[in-house]
Chain A
Amino acid sequence: MLTILFDGIAYGMVLFVLACGLSITLGLMNFVNLAHGVFAMVGGYVTAILMNRLGVPFLATLPFAFLVPAALGLVLERTLYQQLYNRSHLDQVLFTIGLVFMAIAAVDYVMGSQPQLIQLPSWLRGRVDVFGVQIGLYRSFIIVVCGVLVVALQFVLAKTRFGAQLRAAVDDARVARGLGINTSLVFAATFAAGSGLAGLGGALGAEILGLDPTFPLKFLIYFMIVVTVGGTSSLTGPFFASLLLGIADVAGKYYVPSFGAFVIYTVMIVVLVFRPQGLFVKAR
């Protein structure tokens, strides 16, 4: 019982790291980026390639799993995404789905369609018994890393100058521009950081979520649930939404496997119908 809760929290933490970039970009530029999972997949593959082909230790690959997708995100944002900010949501959806299709086929071509295995270092494998509760070492590692990330993100957002600019731009981009904030720069930086975080999440979660070329499509719906249920105006909403989703999904798979993913989809529809702005957002 507590083990399931624990696994669910770890799962939710990974989901949050994966999806937080998406929620900020959606809130900031009102841009529907269905290709967010592509960056997560890139991060996962960077780790897999570095570990399996070059023999780099797991921990040392994580910075690269952040940097490579961040750089990719920055390039794509400056060249392609930027042109679509003023377009309709339908155009954005079509465009990013196109990117997802291309990424899936490209990764399939380069790496093959088989799932990638990530060999965890020995000190992260196995479980320990704490007060009668089975605790996976790797999952506790994930919770610690993601917890630190959450605190750091919250700090950046709440206490730094950049965070203040970002919040201002999310609340009202036009006024923020009028006050001399370079929203385009803020957005590019945020997009890159969000892509990088997704990559990191993909690398950390590869062991739990699995990693193969269809990753962006398989988890797209999870990201979108986090974002739509959590709302896009802060980080706390998506954070609690991720935890809820993680726990609900793990518990659902364990207790009522015959229901499958039915529960979370239904919850999403219900939330969207009654709170289209998200569960944790005050109605405006």
Chain B
Amino acid sequence: MQGTPTDIATRHLAETSRWKPMEFVFWLVAFGAIWLLPSHHLILNEILITALFAMSLDLILGYAGIASLGHAAFFGFGAYFAGIFAIRVIGDPLTGLVLATLASGALGFITSFLVLRGVDLARLMVTLGVALVLGEIANKMTWLTGGADGLQGVMMGPVLGLFEFDLYGRTAYVYSLVVTFLLFLMARRIVVSPFGLSLRTIRDNPLRARAIGIPVNRRLIAVYTLAAAYAGAAGALLAQTTQFVSLDVIALHRSADVLLMLVIGGTGYLYGGFAGAIVFKVLQEVISNWTPQYWTFWIGLILVILVLIGRERMNHRAAVLWARLRGKPEPRPRTIVGGH
């Protein structure tokens, strides 16, 4: 393992960018579900969209270390944009999706300057504030958004002019799956690029990152914009496949839920959002069947326990267990930030 630092870095990046067997399995299952689970397409579609949303949060939280309490701002903006576009302009899903994504990205770009200022707590509050302001706007602009009644009458045309949305969610699932997969491929490419590596440097130590010449602010703006665009795409998918948008898409609990999913699934490896979304939805189904009104109690309890045990320690334990199962050397623990 000799060579110049550039060689080492290139080799490291090439190594981390290689597809692992589990990843193939995951996507094969996801695509296989088109034929294997025909009666569950509606819920699968919902899980997929939530997962894409969680993945977009992972881009800023897991890779760049920006904690956001208002990520639903972009999800909701994308959803409203796609819904209103379908009503007022044309019902072609792809055009709406692309434009909603770009518009959310633009919104992310503008608000990223607010997020750059201050650290942790100020950031949490600013992101929360942006989501609240947007939620309030959506609530008050009744003539455009339908206000508290929700945006009704969204009529979507067929995807690519060929596939009509059906009642069983088959088209919806395939459409969401293809879009999510493409966006995932792009995200995966980005996080294993030198750009992605520099983001992780910033996450671990912004001061040193600046010292070795990484343009910290520009990188953070870029990734925040990207994550906003992804969240907007997820929102647009939701609006198009359910053909309804309500204030719920931008509410505080949606931001909190997505954070929770990501934390359950683990941050910083893109699949955390998928794992978390699946676990979360299944838990939600099971618990709310058992006790429909009070299921938030159990979600809260899970959150408390999760934090008390320690997120990183748990992820590390899982990694150790995984390595042991495959008979490989145990991975070193990641340094836990903030301890004395």
CB-based contact B114/A105 at 8 Å: no
- Residues on the A chain within 8 Å of B139, using CB: 260
Contact, CB under 8 Å: B128 / A221: yes
What are the 5 tightest A-B residue pairs by CB atom distance, in nearest-first order? A101-B300, A98-B303, A105-B297, A276-B118, A102-B300
CA distance A281 to B118 in the complex (A): 14
Q: Which residue of B lies closest to A260 (CB)?
A: B136
Query: Chain B's nearest CB lies how many Å from the CB of A223?
Result: 11
Task: Assess A99 versus B137: contact at CB under 8 Å? Given A94-B260, A217-B252, A269-B130.
Answer: no
A-B contact pairs, 16 of them (CB 8 A): A26-B121, A80-B304, A86-B339, A88-B120, A89-B121, A95-B308, A98-B299, A99-B300, A99-B304, A100-B300, A106-B297, A108-B294, A109-B297, A260-B140, A266-B133, A269-B114
Does B337 make an interface contact (CB < 8 A)? yes
Contact of B122 among A94, A103, A228, A261 (CB under 8 A): A228
Known A98-B300, A268-B125, A273-B114; judge A259-B263 contact (CB<8 A).
no
- Give Cα distance in the complex from A20 to B46, angstroms: 42
Which residues of B lie under 8 Å from residue A266 when comparing CB positions? 129, 133
* C-alpha gap A269/B134 in the complex (Å): 12
A89→B120 contact, CB < 8 A: yes
Contacts of A91 in B (CB 8 A): 307, 311
B259 CB-CB contact with A under 8 Å:
yes
Q: Determine whether the beta carbon of B296 is less than 8 Å from that of A104.
A: yes
Closest chain-B Cβ to A78's Cβ sits at a distance in Å of 14
Contact, CB under 8 Å: B126 / A269: yes
| Identity of the chain A residue whose Cβ is nearest the Cβ of B256 in the assembled complex | A97
What is the CA–CA distance of A277 and B49 in the complex, to the nearest angstrom? 37
Interface residue B320 (Cβ < 8 Å from any Cβ of A): no
Q: Which residues from 250 to 284 on chain A have a C-beta closer than 8 Å to any C-beta of chain B?
A: 258-262, 265-266, 268-269, 272-273, 276
Complexed CA–CA distance, A91 and B124 (Å): 13
Give the A interface residue count (CB, 8 A). 43
Additional A-B contacts beyond A84-B308, A95-B303 (6; CB < 8 A): A89-B67, A93-B67, A105-B295, A272-B125, A272-B129, A276-B118
Residue of A nearest to B311 (CB): A91
Taken residue by residue from 241 to 283, chain B's Cβ proximity to chain A (1 for < 8 Å, 0 otherwise) reads as 0000000000010001001100100000000000000000000
**Per-residue 0/1 for B93-108: is the Cβ within 8 Å of any A Cβ (1 yes, 0 no)?**
0000000000000000
A224 interface residue per 8 A CB criterion:
yes
Q: Which of B114, B125, B308, B338 contacts A228 (CB 8 A)?
A: B125
Q: Do B140 and A98 touch across chains, with their CB atoms under 8 A apart? A: no
- Specify which of B124, B293, B297, B339 is in contact with A89 (CB 8 Å cutoff): B124
Report Cα–Cα, A240/B130, bound state, in Å: 24
B117 contacts A by Cβ under 8 Å: yes
C-alpha gap A6/B61 in the complex (Å): 44
Say yes or no: is A32 at the interface (Cβ < 8 Å to chain B). Answer: yes
B67 to A272, Cβ gap below 8 A?
Answer: no
Q: Are the C-beta atoms of A86 and B338 separated by less than 8 Å?
A: yes
Tell me the bound Cα distance from A104 to B296 in angstroms. Answer: 8
Q: Mask for B38-73, Cβ within 8 A of A = 1, else 0?
A: 000000000000000000000001000001010000
Does A130 make an interface contact (CB < 8 A)?
no
Contacts of B326 in A (CB 8 A): none
- Neighbouring A residues of B140 by C-beta, 8 Å: 258-260, 262
Residues of chain A within 8 A (CB-CB) of B132 are 221, 261, 265
One digit per residue, 1 when the CB lies within 8 angstroms of any chain B CB and 0 when it does not, for chain A 16-53 equals 00000000001000001000000000000000000000
With A and B bound together, what is the CA distance between A91 and B301 in angstroms? 14
Flag if B137 contacts A262 (CB, 8 Å): yes
Q: A260-B140, A262-B137 are in contact. Are A94 and B125 (CB under 8 A)?
A: no
A122 within 8 Å of B (CB atoms): no
| Contacting residues, chain B, for A95 (C-beta < 8 A) | 303-304, 307-308
Residues in A with CB closer than 8 Å to B119 are 276
Give Cα A258 to B136, complex, Å: 10
Q: What is the distance, in angstroms, from A96's C-beta to the closest C-beta of chain B?
A: 9
Cβ-based interface call for A114 (8 A):
no
A265 partner residues in chain B, CB cutoff 8 A? 129, 132-133, 136
- B303:A262 contact, CB within 8 angstroms: no
Which of A98, A268, A276 touches B307 (beta carbons < 8 Å)? A98
User: For the complex, is A90 an interface residue (Cβ under 8 Å from B)?
Assistant: yes
Chain B residues whose C-beta falls within 8 Å of the C-beta of A106 in the assembled complex: 297
B-side contacts of A89, CB under 8 Å: 67, 120-121, 124
B121 to chain A, nearest CB (A): 6
Q: For the complex, what is the distance from the CA of A98 to the CA of B304, rounded to whole Å?
A: 5
